[in-house]
Structure 1
Amino acid sequence: MSVFLRARPTEWSWARRNGLFLANAIVFLLCFAGMVLAGWRVSEHDAVLHGQAVESLWGFLTSGDFAEATFENWESEFLQMGSYVVLTTFLFQKGSSESKSLDEDAPQDADPREHADDAGAPWPVRRGGLALVLYENSLLILFTVLFAGSVVGHVIGGAAAYNEEQVEHGAGVVSGWQYLGTSQFWFESMQNWQSEFLVITVMVVGTVWLRQRGSSQSKPVAAPHAETGD
């Protein structure tokens, strides 16, 4: 038994080091699976109501409705985080743990070119030039690419779903580009975008006065309300 107890910390060390990623990835997969199954049941119900053939699970996964529902949500999430990355580089909120300090230089603002010889510095920092320019903006680049890809998926899936309804009602179909100009596309987008920025607004302001002990997203519980940053 004593051997087992001594070995256990080593066995769990990888999971402990990556616990935040693992927890979020598992919850994402569970919720995504729930979305697929619930959405499939909804499509079955709608098909029965309209006297149509019930789709297979694969048919639902490749449908415009599923693509539109999935990508319009991903699009808003990537927009939220990409925008937040940019806004927190030059905007401040006094007293918020989500803001850089108003009075002190932030480590994030340090010029990486002065650390090219530091031990353990990432390769782009040591390389300099274009590699460093891309690397020092790589987080924004990532979210921009993911947002753009999600918009494309939303447009393709949304246009397919939109055209199905158009055909059912004897109206003309639209291209993906034309779908971008419809109220339907912007309603689908804005209903998600507004909620994402609402959450960020609540988080930024809430962390001025409220705390969560142990969380990296909160100031220390005893910190003054006016203290800015974490």
Structure 2
Amino acid sequence: MRTFLRENSLSLFFGTILILALAGQAIAGLAEINQQQLTSGLHPVTLGDYLLSSDFAVDVAENWQSEFLQFLLYIYATVWLYQRGSSESKELGKSGPESDQDQQVGRYATDRSPAWARAGGWRLGLYSRSLTLVMGTIFLLSWLAQSVAGRAAYNAQQLSEYEDPESWLGYVSSADFWSRTLQNWQSEFLAVAAMAVFAIFLRHRGSPESKPVGAPHDSTGVEG
């Protein structure tokens, strides 16, 4: 058990704080929605009702889709683009999908390589892009969930004000939808750009996200 915890501590740590953050969001969101209910002269809702509501779903989904979009674009962009001096960039001159030998696929695969890395044809092609395919799928599903839940929450507000409800296509082309969406996207893009640039000049000893403390500022693609 100790070995399992130590060898999986990174994912366990972030999984734990994810659950804690979701719990905190649920408690804070419930308090906020019930304050609005009381102000409007309505009965407060229970925690279970809030967790199943469109208000909670849209808040979660719009954050998730922006996070997976960030990683999807970052993974793909770093195949082709550089940032001189950053540990977040590949070494200069190594853009592109690289050779089979560099990627240890096909006849260059080892005995410990995944089975589909040793295969050819569509299986190797699919496995070679599996990370971005999964990230892209989760992004699209989260975006769809955001649009559906967001429309439900928006229409509930519309009906409470005796306004006409909006269709799904109408909502996804509305200012409300894109205001919420782009607000999340710009923060993710800022964070990625900041990390790529800060990693040129700043260090954190022992982290693979940082260059070695004594590495020159112009060292590119070097991890600590």
Q: Partner letter of residue 195 of structure 1?
A: S
Alpha-carbon distance in 2 for matches of 1:108, 1:15: 34
Residue 183 of structure 2: aligned partner: 191
Normalising by the residue count of structure 1, what TM-score does the alignment of the two structures yield?
A: 0.91
Selected match of 1:173 from 165, 174, 182: 165
Q: Partner letter of residue 115 of structure 2?
A: W
Contact 2:106 2:120 in 1 (8 A): yes
Of 164-173 and 145-154, the range deviating more from structure 2: 164-173
Selected match of 1:115 from 97, 100, 108: 108
Residue 63 of structure 2: aligned partner: 73
Residue 45 of structure 2: aligned partner: 55
Selected match of 1:88 from 78, 84, 109: 78
Task: Write out per-residue CA displacement over residues 3-23 of structure 1, whole angstroms, 9 at most, x where no aligned residue.
Answer: xxxxxxxx4211111111111
In structure 2, list runs of 5 or more residues that go unmatched. none
Q: 1:183-222 to 2 correspondence within 5 Å?
A: 183-222=175-214
Alpha-carbon distance in 1 for matches of 2:95, 2:162: 60
Normalising by the residue count of structure 2, what TM-score does the alignment of the two structures yield?
A: 0.93
Q: 1:132-143 to 2 correspondence within 5 Å?
A: 132-143=124-135
Give aligned pairs, total: 218
Contact 1:97 1:208 in 2 (8 A): yes
Q: Matched residue of 2:210: which SS?
A: coil
Q: Identical aligned pairs, as a percentage?
A: 38
Of 89-98 and 175-184, the range deviating more from structure 2: 175-184
Q: Compute the displacement of 1:63 (Å).
A: 1.2
Q: Compute the displacement of 1:115 (Å).
A: 2.1
Alpha-carbon distance in 1 for matches of 2:118, 2:79: 23
Answering whether residue 8 of structure 2 is matched by residue 15 of structure 1, we say no
> Relative to 1, partners in 2 of residues 1:170 and 1:29: Cα closer, same or farther, differing over 3 Å?
same
